[in-house]
Structure 1
């Protein structure tokens, strides 16, 4: 039988049924996970559809499979003992040879108890029925609500004063993101008594960007605009993930206009990768000769240890030539 009208495939999230009118067919397919074959001897083979994901990270299935003859004269049902946590990579991973002779129409019934896949980003295989969509929805909703607490000043209980204005915030949120803020509110410090935090080394705009990051309401444009201020705040208030993000970003667009400022920041905040990148830009690429005036002014005010490192790097390059 070669026409599609001789079989149908019915599916639900956990159940697939192949309804076959005749056993003369050699190939049956169910989208998206499994395939059934019939060769010279009747057998059922289950394996994933070919894709980059299943080829490199095959799914792990637990299922019950049974064959049901739908003949009105001789109805038969055969149930496989069941498969638990079976990795299905190719057609040899699950083969069920059936000795019973079936006549008439046939139903092949596969009911999944579980199906585990590995995410493209890696990690341990996880069930596709673990509720990840609702988890993602819950996270998005929570972040939206948290952002509104800040933007709409909902029940703020602490005021942050900056160099040119003030912003209301929430002690609990700040304390959960920063051990420094946590310590302020856990002890009888002036910040706790006055319900005020003084961050005079930040403008209200850069402080707003800092709080937006803490509250999960961050925009890429404000990050790029305030990276050095955010780096300073992340170091001061011990927010490691923000500090790392700033570090990685500052390495990516070093040029003659910002290299000295970033070299100073790298030295001050102990950012080895940024410092090495700035040194390489200045010395290995010879940019130190293009910004002589700026470098002379920088040397007059920079930390002596950093100046020594610059000259040491220059000497090492000269020796190489």
Structure 2
């Protein structure tokens, strides 16, 4: 049989499969075709009746985020009478080849066309708490947001109409009051009152290097690179806490949890206590005590016992005692 017998012709939202010479008892499955984010298959099974199925190709993305499809599927006879059967489907969750099956009892010739017009394709958001269309407003909104972030980043990198100077320990960066105030209630308070920073059009951040300060501003403006973020996480935690940028603080906590090891566990434990990062604190304590890594960093731990915050030292010591009681 010709390979064309399995090919599905498509446009952006329309799929059409021409069936020729389908025997009285037969099964045929189309080649995969792309609509939206997914590869799809059509299949036909003919015995006493004709059963048509539409389903996405099985993959990790399909399992994690299956499509919710609205479409109109038609079967059109290739004979002169052009007999047409229509079946509309609204918001059908499609995970496998059993989720949509259309049995047709009316006899058809062995030559016909299956026509599928996709009206909408939806999927769950990354947070899993809402269903969004991958077309239309959702797509334009994402594009608009991405364009806005790109242009906002250019305002910082190119110094477009800046009106405030950020003085780090070893350099200065020009920025915008409105952007800083929109992202930080601390900055907003500075610029809303006759404080020194507002009068002098300058903010001093002497505890940050120019590189760390640039990373902080890049995050605020929405154009920070991942390698820059990773390099300056600890400095960013301090800045996020000081200027009350809660989403940055949470992003740092998430990232710092991911790569705890012998070389950084004690330092991060102390940062977690100082800047109120409870999940990082639990993760570091678990790593050191429950996984017995504390024995791999004895010298550093002895220094921590002598010089660390007394309350934190007592907490860790109690965790160690509790772990030993379990043996």
* TM-score, structure 1 as length reference: 0.80
1-structure distance, mates of 2:29, 2:266:
67
How many correspondences in the alignment?
313
Which of 208, 222, 225 does residue 216 from structure 1 map onto?
Answer: 222
Which of 103, 109, 112 does residue 96 from structure 1 map onto?
Answer: 103
Closer, same or farther: CA 98–119 of 1 in aligned 2, 3 Å: farther
Report Cα offsets for 1:14-43 as digits up to 9, x if no partner.
222233343426425263324131412342
Which of 152, 163, 170 does residue 157 from structure 1 map onto?
Answer: 163
Which residue is 1:266 aligned to?
272
2-structure distance, mates of 1:235, 1:153:
26
Question: What SS is found at the alignment partner of 1:175?
Answer: helix
* Counterpart mapping for 1:294-309 below 5 A: 294-295=303-304, 298=307, 302-309=308-315
Please tell me the root mean square deviation across aligned C-alpha atoms, in Å. Answer: 3.3
Closer, same or farther: CA 90–167 of 1 in aligned 2, 3 Å: same
Question: What SS is found at the alignment partner of 1:309?
Answer: helix
Contact 1:6 1:21 in 2 (8 A): yes
1-structure distance, mates of 2:306, 2:110:
93
Which residue is 1:237 aligned to?
243
Closer, same or farther: CA 105–8 of 1 in aligned 2, 3 Å: farther
**Are 2:42 and 1:43 equivalent residues in the alignment?**
no
2-structure distance, mates of 1:153, 1:297:
47
Q: After superposing the two structures, state which structure 1 stretch, 153-162 or 14-23, moved more.
A: 14-23
Which residue is 1:67 aligned to?
75
Which residue is 1:29 aligned to?
30
2-structure distance, mates of 1:178, 1:51:
45
Closer, same or farther: CA 110–209 of 1 in aligned 2, 3 Å: closer
Which of 151, 173, 191 does residue 185 from structure 1 map onto?
Answer: 191
Question: What SS is found at the alignment partner of 1:290?
Answer: helix
Which residue is 2:17 aligned to?
18
Contact 1:60 1:87 in 2 (8 A): yes
The structure whose Rg is larger is: 1
Report Cα offsets for 1:149-177 as digits up to 9, x if no partner.
11221111111122233221111111121
Please state how far the C-alpha of 1:237 moved relative to its aligned partner: 0.7
5+ residue gaps, structure 1, are none
2-structure distance, mates of 1:173, 1:310:
41
Contact 1:48 1:54 in 2 (8 A): no
2-structure distance, mates of 1:212, 1:238:
16
Please state how far the C-alpha of 1:213 moved relative to its aligned partner: 1.5
1-structure distance, mates of 2:62, 2:285:
45
2-structure distance, mates of 1:174, 1:145:
16
Which of 167, 172, 183 does residue 178 from structure 2 map onto?
Answer: 172
Closer, same or farther: CA 111–265 of 1 in aligned 2, 3 Å: closer
Question: What SS is found at the alignment partner of 1:84?
Answer: strand
Please state how far the C-alpha of 1:243 moved relative to its aligned partner: 1.4
Please state how far the C-alpha of 1:195 moved relative to its aligned partner: 1.6
Report Cα offsets for 1:88-118 as digits up to 9, x if no partner.
443463323132x444742332222223344
Question: What SS is found at the alignment partner of 2:54?
Answer: coil
2-structure distance, mates of 1:320, 1:23:
70
Closer, same or farther: CA 174–97 of 1 in aligned 2, 3 Å: same
5+ residue gaps, structure 2, are 34-39
**Are 2:152 and 1:143 equivalent residues in the alignment?**
no
